[in-house]
Structure 1
């Protein structure tokens, strides 16, 4: 009779769990993924075109995002990517895997998720390629209430967005925020070639704090607007038209896609 060791049995159970993770309801997925992060059980390999990275996510939930593909298409070795709303780091990790000489600055205001981001960077051996920053971006320096959602991807400075899809507010805490313009001026963040923004209803504030960067350094912008619907109050999401107006004012051409916009500086880059 074949003897199965404890580590082999645990590994087999984890593989079985991971195989069904894609079909789990949101609440079950986040509980299971949270346990995997909490106990650092297994960091599985995720493929990115010509490279790969490891993370404690149960599977590569955003590996097929249109917006991520657009970023990888335009990025080059030596470029700087500022990943605003990095969450557990899928975009930053993908850039580091595909472009070994690129630099990703992964900005994540949620303290709990910032720790998981750090764990994923370490699991992939990308400490020299990804620079995590635990803060939020906004139009002005200061601090703002941050709403931690039970579905961590929905956590936001916008309460409504943190409660979408049946999620609830797990906690609220004050978090430091800075304009990107100030961080670049101070040398804390290098001037970006690419600026990715997915901040659950706070994108306009991020862009308002990055006007000088956009006007001077002309990065490609990849943004996922979270539009508010007609008749809803200003607290319920953001007006995608306001984001569009700001970018058009700064002479960006907007290319809409499946899950966001690619915004190309007119007359400066191809």
Structure 2
């Protein structure tokens, strides 16, 4: 089931987009409003959006979890409304490959919680550190944590993971894909018209610093770091040197277009070759593995469509004992 509600100033008026149980929807909607209005967390109260088209948002209970999603988002939110999930099978495949649940999941670029929420709710991770740079995505993530009663198992931080802490980064907003917001590193014309996207400033924080501040460093021996930051992966890894040195398995999105636009393809390749021994394509059912060498990275790129700026894959980075 999926449905769309009006602006929260008129919460009793509902516009269904399919066959739904309106009593169930009404109860869920009122519970969400009660949480957002009574909590002491100001970021969660701000779920009553005033950001243009995002003043309309969707609620979905298609899958096992309940999600607030953004009405103006044609990608992740649409998948949540229709399917109740977004590419979560890659996470489950990776976890099975690694031998089962983790003590800690670090979800960098957590968006609305499409990995964080089901990972915590289904027992895949005892605790989650979710890092999301965009304010609106972060507020929606917070609402989803409370809707799924996961607020005690997930620490959510509104910051941009980066190579240094305290740096102000220019962050650009995709008008149609709330999962494609990214740090701006080029003003040249791009395949998605991103040179014209609106921007605002966000502060960066090293992932190692976040783990230390939250007292989570001791959980690293049995953890998983999941990174999806639209071509900013190298900077996140540079700020996670302690976690990398500890041998934590890490999944990154390997997106040649975004990496090349940021001028970070060569730097990322060098980092992977220096710190890891094996690169496994996690979003492929066969999970083919390649050595962390120049030749291995070239073989992975050869699997992608070099003419398609959207072509990407998820890489599990590991180091042999």
Please, what TM-score do these two structures have when normalized by structure 1?
Answer: 0.73
Change (3 A) 1:187 1:149: same
Alignment match of 1:103 (pick from 109, 127, 147)? 127
Match of 1:146, SS state, is strand
Equivalent residue runs for 1:48-59 within 5 Å: 52-57=64-69, 58-59=81-82
Matching residue of 1:27? none
**1:261 and 2:315 correspond:** yes
Please, what TM-score do these two structures have when normalized by structure 2?
Answer: 0.62
Which consecutive residues of structure 1, in runs of 5 or more, have no partner in the other structure?
1-6, 18-33, 47-51
Matching residue of 1:79? 103
Task: Indicate if the aligned counterparts of 1:137 and 1:178 stay in contact, CA closer than 8 A.
Answer: yes
Change (3 A) 1:134 1:168: same
Which consecutive residues of structure 2, in runs of 5 or more, have no partner in the other structure?
1-10, 21-50, 70-80, 284-312
Equivalent residue runs for 1:147-186 within 5 Å: 147-150=172-175, 151-158=177-184, 165=192, 170-186=197-213
Match of 2:145, SS state, is helix
Change (3 A) 1:186 1:122: closer
Task: Indicate if the aligned counterparts of 2:163 and 2:206 stay in contact, CA closer than 8 A.
Answer: yes
Aligned-partner Cα distance in 1 for 2:154–2:83: 18
Alignment match of 1:146 (pick from 156, 159, 171)? 171
Q: Deviations over 1:99-147 (max 9, x none)?
A: 1761111100000110111111112111122211100111111221111
CA RMSD of aligned residues (A): 3.4
**1:63 and 2:86 correspond:** yes
Aligned-partner Cα distance in 1 for 2:245–2:274: 10
